[in-house]
Amino acid sequence: MRRMLIVGAGQSGLQLALGLQAQGYEVTLMSNRTADEIRVGRVMSTQCMFHTALQHERDLEINFWEEQAPRIQGLGVSVAGPVTPLGHPRLVDWVGELDGCAQSVDQRLKMAGWMDAFERRGGRLVIHGATVSDLNFLAERYDLLLVAAGKGELGSLFGRDATRSPYTSPQRALAVAYVHGLAPRLEHPDLEAVRCNLVPDVGELYVMPALTASGRADILFWEAIPGGPADVFEGVTDPSEHLALTLELMEWFTPWEYGRATRVELTDAGGTLSGRYTPTVRDPIGRLPGGGLVLGVADVVVTNDPLTGQGSNSAAKCAASYLASIVEHGDRPFDEAWMRRTFARFWATARHVTKWTNAMLAPPPDHIVRLLGAAGQLPAVAHRFANGFDDPADFENFFYEPDKTAAYLEEAEAAGAAEVAEDAEDAEDGGTDAADVGDAIDTASEAAEQVG
Ligand SMILES: Cc1cc2nc3c(=O)[nH]c(=O)nc-3n(C[C@H](O)[C@H](O)[C@H](O)COP(=O)(O)OP(=O)(O)OC[C@H]3O[C@@H](n4cnc5c(N)ncnc54)[C@H](O)[C@@H]3O)c2cc1C
């Protein structure tokens, strides 16, 4: 029986551990926290996962919370316009239907539950914060060492890949609050949807339904441009103050979201999180002082900003891809060549996530502004953009290059000619077209500077 050591009990480490365990491998999992510590600790993510990633969990039959978690059927985008005496109006507002539903299960619930399942099924769980010297000592005893320690210190074993890491500093300051009591969006009261609210020069507010220990919740998540008017959470340790700041920003920049948040309260004392980190791609292989090799998993080797909500999705895809590579390799040694092939297989999908996320972190070029505006009038465009969250490879076809975007919009307009004609009538009655949105975003940027 092949012996595997996995360091880190997060989305990727646990999914891989449970997957290998089901295939008969002898798995040791090292976690720096017990299941109970995780359960009562601080929230770690907003962890919205889309169809493909959720399917990997279903394939392993570890989708324990699927029945209880809200089924997210749509993904909406709103863009804030220039400031008025009442705050910022909404210039763009649409929701695209997801082909397969998305779900967000509080990682405190999920990781603690998966750790319990791993142990119940006979897995060896060691509670210990692994160090490089631990790994060096243990290398001989295992056929393969996998480091799935997220953004923890062990990441320093893996060299930064400058060619794949355009940023050298954090691009957003993150602030998360889990709440109960959020009212539905008035225009779609029955639709569970992730809402991406883009506020030029300020950042983004994400609002999404989730499942936490106390039941159905919603997450309010500010992604603030560093140094901008929403970058106000650093040093805030009191959860009530964190929530108050979240709501204050919502009231000013996204009043349409604030309107449904006037009665919210935090789910629990650990229901807030703030911080920032630099998106980084690393070399997938770490070299131990004694010459042993370790393979990095998920966030250890590819860390993206959570702006596009892809990290847990990528972690699930990485665990599924590594599991297949390990099983297919049979009894042969897990040497450097195998490690490089294994990472390359994952990178074939991960590179699309990194490219798209890094593009979304930059101010939107004109063709993207047009695309987002057009999605408000062409449901097919809204649908395609929304489903790109499940399969970011599709953005290659219509997102990055102005020519491809223009060709796609032309095609979409032709296909939806009847609807467009109808929408054009609405636009004449005071609606917004894509060109207006472009102008308005420029003006909004100026306004945001004044606010800052
Ligand atoms: C604010 C925020 C919002 C997010 N929102 C989303 C979203 O909506 N959708 C999405 O898909 N992703 C989202 N993400 C990203 C996602 O949470 C991560 O990318 C994902 O959890 C990474 O999984 P992982 O297995 O690589 O690492 P993690 O889930 O971070 O797990 C790593 C584990 O290793 C443990 N560990 C660390 N060091 C050691 C050590 N030395 N020894 C033992 N154990 C160790 C850690 O305690 C942790 O339990 C978000 C992230 C943040 C910060």
How many Å lie between the centroid of ligand 1 and the Cα of residue 413? 40
CA–CA separation, 318 and 349 (whole Å): 9
Please work out whether the CB of residue 45 comes within 6 Å of at least one atom of ligand 1. Answer: yes
> What is the position in ligand 1's atom list of the atom closest to the CA of 13?
25
- Nearest-10 crossing angle of helices 11-22, 107-120: 30
Q: Is 48 in the pocket of ligand 1 (CB under 6 A)?
A: yes
pLDDT at 85: 80
Give CA–CA dist 239/175, Å, rounded: 11
Per-residue pLDDT tens listing for the chain (452 residues): 899 999 999 999 999 999 999 999 999 999 999 999 999 999 999 999 999 999 999 999 999 999 999 999 999 999 999 888 877 889 999 999 999 999 999 999 999 999 999 999 999 999 999 999 999 999 999 999 999 999 989 999 999 999 999 999 999 999 999 999 999 998 899 999 999 999 999 999 999 999 999 999 999 999 999 999 999 999 999 999 999 999 999 999 999 999 999 999 999 999 999 999 999 999 999 999 999 999 999 999 999 999 999 999 999 999 999 999 999 999 999 999 999 999 999 999 999 999 999 999 999 999 999 999 999 999 999 999 999 999 999 999 999 999 999 999 999 999 887 565 665 566 666 544 545 444 544 443 443 344 33
Beta-carbon contacts of residue 177 (< 8 Å; ≥ 6 apart): 219, 220, 221, 239, 242, 243, 246, 266, 271, 272
What's the confidence (pLDDT) of residue 452? Answer: 33
Nearest CA to ligand 1 atom 21: 312
CA of 273 to the centre of ligand 1 (A): 13
* Å from CA of 133 to ligand 1 middle: 23
What value, to the nearest 5°, has the Cα angle with vertex 269 and ends 265 and 272? 75
- What pLDDT does 111 receive? 98
Query: Percentage helix, strand, coil, to 5, in the chain?
Result: 45, 25, 35
- SS3 string, 378-437, reads CHHHHHHHHHCCCCHHHHHHCCCCHHHHHHHHHHHHHHCHHHHHHHHHHHHCCCCCHHHH
Sketch the domain layout of the chain as residue ranges. 3-62+106-167+279-359, 72-104+170-275, 366-451
- Rounded to an integer, what distance in angstroms lies between the CA atom of residue 27 and that of residue 208? 35
Residue 169: is it exposed, middle or buried by C-beta count within 10 angstroms (0-12/13-18/19+)?
Answer: exposed
Q: Which residues pair with 210 in a beta bridge?
A: 217
Helix axis angle for 311-328 and 51-59, nearest 10°, is 40
Residue 145 main-chain phi, psi, to 5 deg? -110, 125
Report yes or no: 124 and 29 within 8 Å, Cβ to Cβ.
yes
Structure tokens at 358: 């890094």
Q: What is residue 440's predicted lDDT score, i.e. its pLDDT?
A: 42
> Does ligand 1 have an atom closer than 6 angstroms to the CB of 9?
yes
CATH fold of 72-104+170-275:
D-Amino Acid Oxidase; Chain A, domain 2 (3.30.9)
Q: How many A from CA of 287 to the centre of ligand 1?
A: 23
pTM: 0.93
Nearest to 71 by CA among 43, 95, 100: 100
The rounded Å distance from CA 11 to ligand 1 centre is 7
Q: Give the pLDDT of residue 418.
A: 58
Instruction: Please tell me if the CB atom of residue 175 comes closer than 6 angstroms to any atom of ligand 1.
Output: no
Rounded distance between C-alpha atoms, residue 336 and residue 377, angstroms: 51
Q: What is the best residue among 44, 104, 158, 314 to mutate for testing ligand 1's pocket, by most ligand atoms within 8 Å of CB?
A: 44
Residue 272 bridge partners (DSSP)? 177
Could you tell me the distance, in angstroms and rounded to a whole number, from the CA of residue 44 to the centre of ligand 1? 7
User: Tell me, what's the pLDDT at 83?
Assistant: 83
One-letter amino acid identity for 304?
N
* 392 C-beta closer than 6 A to ligand 1: no
Domain range 3-62+106-167+279-359, CATH architecture: 3-Layer(bba) Sandwich (3.50)
Given this model, what pLDDT does residue 416 score? 82
User: Can you tell me which atom of ligand 1 is nearest the CA of 312?
Assistant: 11
pLDDT at position 248: 97
Q: What pLDDT is attached to residue 441?
A: 43
